[in-house]
């Protein structure tokens, strides 16, 4: 048995101490089981764990959840620190188990995720509540196979949604087969005099970013100030913004549809953009230097 597994077993089955309604491992991880599955074999370091989980802050607001969505596949590694760590939490869950954990927010963001600061919806020194449902253990081959199958299904669904959206909006869009980005220009510039956008161009522009349900997540018009940026691939999030701008010239206006993998991908943006979101951008180029 792996040394890490053995220490966890000792903590769980021998060295438990009361911590309110939670039990506590020797390292300080606070937990309580919500459901025990039929299997009892714990995962080993190097296993991929397919699981569903949610994270709730000290205000009881859910800041992330993949329940009823695609599960995460997480590589189990050694804990980054003592006192409560997400890897230690995963390591005590057998297939079919569900449990609730309290993990210090500072240690989670600073030590585990290596963030430089806490999100504005997290209070310093507070606890995060994790609810984790362990689905199954997987090896790397199984993970890759499942992910590839899911990608094909997701891409097909995305194309169907794009076709439905453009029909609903009355858009006639051109597909760039090299990137998957679709575009329709509403104002074309004079090709002889307008400046093309190239890498390292300095561009002043307005844009609106929104979801397919027309929810806006960014609008420079309502913010009262256009963007002024140097066009480099490393500059942009999402990365697809670079490819969209290179299609444009000064004075042009266009609508783009950005596939999720060129947007914010499988994670999305907390409280703003759901995972796997196809994005719509309306871009108005004011000036190119």
- CA dist 231 and 228 (Å) reads 9
The architecture in CATH of the region 3-138 reads Roll (3.10)
- Residue 190 confidence (pLDDT) above 80: no
Give the model's pLDDT for residue 192: 64
Contact yes or no for 95/37 (Cβ under 8 A)? yes
- Residue 19 confidence (pLDDT) above 60: no
Do 165-288 and 3-138 have the same topology in CATH?
A: yes
Give the model's pLDDT for residue 191: 64
Domain ranges of the chain: 3-138, 165-288
Task: Report pLDDT digits (tens) over 28-61.
Answer: 999 999 999 999 999 999 999 999 999 999 999 9
Give the model's pLDDT for residue 195: 85
pLDDT averaged over every residue in the chain: 89
- Residue 253 confidence (pLDDT) above 70: yes
Alpha helices in the chain (DSSP H): 3-13, 86-91, 105-107, 140-169, 220-223, 240-245
Q: How confident is the model over 130-156, as a mean pLDDT?
A: 94
Q: Is 174 helix (H, G, I), strand (E, B) or coil?
A: strand
Give the model's pLDDT for residue 5: 43
- pLDDT-derived band at 6 (thresholds 50, 70, 90) equals very low
Give the model's pLDDT for residue 11: 41
Q: How confident is the model over 114-139, as a mean pLDDT?
A: 94
- pLDDT-derived band at 262 (thresholds 50, 70, 90) equals very high
Q: How confident is the model over 178-200, as a mean pLDDT?
A: 85
- State residue 257 phi and psi, 5-degree precision: -115, 125
pTM here? 0.63
- Residue 251 confidence (pLDDT) above 80: yes
Q: How confident is the model over 82-106, as a mean pLDDT?
A: 94
- CA dist 7 and 16 (Å) reads 12
- Residue 193 confidence (pLDDT) above 90: no
- Residue 236 confidence (pLDDT) above 80: no
Residue 220: burial class (beta carbons within 10 Å; 0-12, 13-18, 19+): middle
The architecture in CATH of the region 165-288 reads Roll (3.10)
- pLDDT-derived band at 188 (thresholds 50, 70, 90) equals confident
Which residue in 133, 82, 285 sits closest to 203, CA to CA?
285
Give the model's pLDDT for residue 7: 44
- Residue 18 confidence (pLDDT) above 50: no
CA dihedral (32, 35, 36, 37) positive or negative: negative
- Residue 112 confidence (pLDDT) above 70: yes
């Amino acid at each position: 048995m792996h040394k890490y597994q053995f220490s966890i077993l000792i903590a769980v089955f021998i060295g438990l101490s009361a911590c309110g309604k939670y039990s506590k491992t020797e390292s300080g991880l606070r937990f309580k089981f919500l459901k025990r599955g039929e299997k009892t074999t714990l995962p080993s370091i190097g296993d991929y764990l397919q699981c569903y989980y949610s994270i709730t802050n000290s205000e009881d607001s859910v800041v992330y959840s993949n329940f009823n969505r695609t599960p995460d596949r997480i590589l189990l590694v050694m804990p980054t620190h003592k006192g409560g760590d997400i890897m230690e939490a995963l390591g005590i869950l057998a297939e079919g188990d569900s449990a609730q954990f309290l993990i210090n927010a500072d240690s989670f963001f600073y030590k585990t995720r290596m963030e430089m600061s806490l999100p504005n919806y997290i209070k310093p020194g507070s606890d995060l509540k994790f609810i984790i449902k362990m689905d199954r253990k997987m090896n790397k081959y199984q993970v890759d196979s499942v992910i590839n199958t899911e990608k094909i299904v997701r891409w097909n669904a995305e194309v169907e949604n794009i076709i439905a959206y453009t029909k609903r909006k009355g858009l006639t869009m051109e597909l760039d087969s090299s990137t998957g980005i679709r575009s329709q220009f509403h104002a074309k510039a004079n090709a002889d005099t307008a400046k093309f956008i190239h890498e390292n161009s300095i561009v002043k522009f307005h844009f609106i970013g929104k979801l397919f349900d027309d929810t806006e997540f960014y609008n420079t018009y309502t913010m009262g100030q256009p963007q002024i940026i140097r066009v480099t691939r490393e500059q942009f999030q999402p990365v697809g913004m670079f490819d969209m701008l290179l299609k444009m010239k000064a004075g042009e206006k266009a609508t783009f549809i950005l596939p999720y993998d060129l947007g914010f991908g499988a994670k999305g943006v907390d409280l703003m953009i759901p995972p796997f979101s196809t994005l719509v951008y309306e871009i108005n180029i004011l000036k190119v230097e």
